[in-house]
Amino acid sequence: MNLTNINDFLLKLDGLKSINRKTYINGGDRVENSAEHSWHLAMACWAFAEMFNADGQYYYINKIIKLALVHDIGEMYAGDTFLYADNRSTAHVAERQGIERLVAHKGNPINDLLSLWDEQEFGTSKETKLLKVVDRLLPFLHNMTSNGKAWQDMDVHKKQVLAMHAFIEDESPEIYEWFLASIDYAVKQGWLRNN
């Protein structure tokens, strides 16, 4: 056991706290950082998985928590890419390179770090699907509680929000219905542009 190496690795992971996102938290007080988002996503996925497990579905809790914790860790090297950014479809390339750097770190004891990241990015397990739904839900909730502050800052339109959340209709129709009603409410409030 080499405490110097693992401590260096832990401090490297701490760098995720320095990556700011566009999403406002606390009703719009400040922007969230990627470490806060990853923790919130892990807790939210755990909560949803427990709720669905109680309804007779089965999700592996440890797996979904791990997927959530690693899902944005590559941003330490690549930075955060806003959901509605033009380069969103290629952001995973730089993020994966960041994961590869972490995997190669001499203090890294997590053997499945890269495979977990690949699964959350490209996988089709029910845990990955739930993770992706909840990952879209949380920033949406923050927009709803901040009167659409990030949407307004970034000039996001209703059609963009609909397009980036459309996959949820197949994964969770109940959550998707809530999204649609909330989007309509946000438009009526003037938080989200209609066209």
CATH at 71: 1.10.3210.10
The percentage of the chain sitting over the pLDDT mark of 90, rounded to a whole number, equals: 86
- Angle at which helices 61-70 and 34-54 cross, to 10°: 160
Answer yes or no: is 76 within a domain.
Answer: yes
Answer yes or no: is 52 within a domain.
Answer: yes
Answer yes or no: is 195 within a domain.
Answer: no
Higher pLDDT, 85 or 147: 147
At 127, is the pLDDT very low, low, confident or very high (cuts 50, 70, 90)? very high
pLDDT in tens, 62-109: 999 999 999 999 999 988 887 887 887 788 888 999 999 999 999 999
Say whether pLDDT at 27 is over 90: no
145-to-45, 108, 142, 149, 186 alpha-carbon distances in Å = 20, 38, 5, 9, 10
Return the pLDDT at 80. 87
Return the pLDDT at 9. 97
Reduced to 3 states (helix: H, G, I; strand: E, B; else coil), residue 6 is helix
At 132, is the pLDDT very low, low, confident or very high (cuts 50, 70, 90)? very high
Which residues form the domain of 128? 3-189
Answer yes or no: is 57 within a domain.
Answer: yes
* Nearest alpha carbon to residue 14 among 36, 45, 41, 44: 36
Q: Residue type at 122?
A: F
Answer yes or no: is 114 within a domain.
Answer: yes
Return the pLDDT at 179. 96
- Angle at which helices 61-70 and 126-145 cross, to 10°: 60
- Angle at which helices 34-54 and 126-145 cross, to 10°: 120
For residues 44 and 56, give the distance between their C-alpha atoms in angstroms, rounded to a whole number: 19
For residues 105 and 5, give the distance between their C-alpha atoms in angstroms, rounded to a whole number: 8
**Section 131-151 average pLDDT:** 96
Q: What's the total number of domains in the chain?
A: 1
Say whether pLDDT at 144 is over 80: yes
**Section 42-66 average pLDDT:** 95
Answer yes or no: is 23 within a domain.
Answer: yes
Q: What is the largest CA-CA distance in the chain?
A: 59
Name the one residue in this structure whose structure tokens are 């719009």.
28
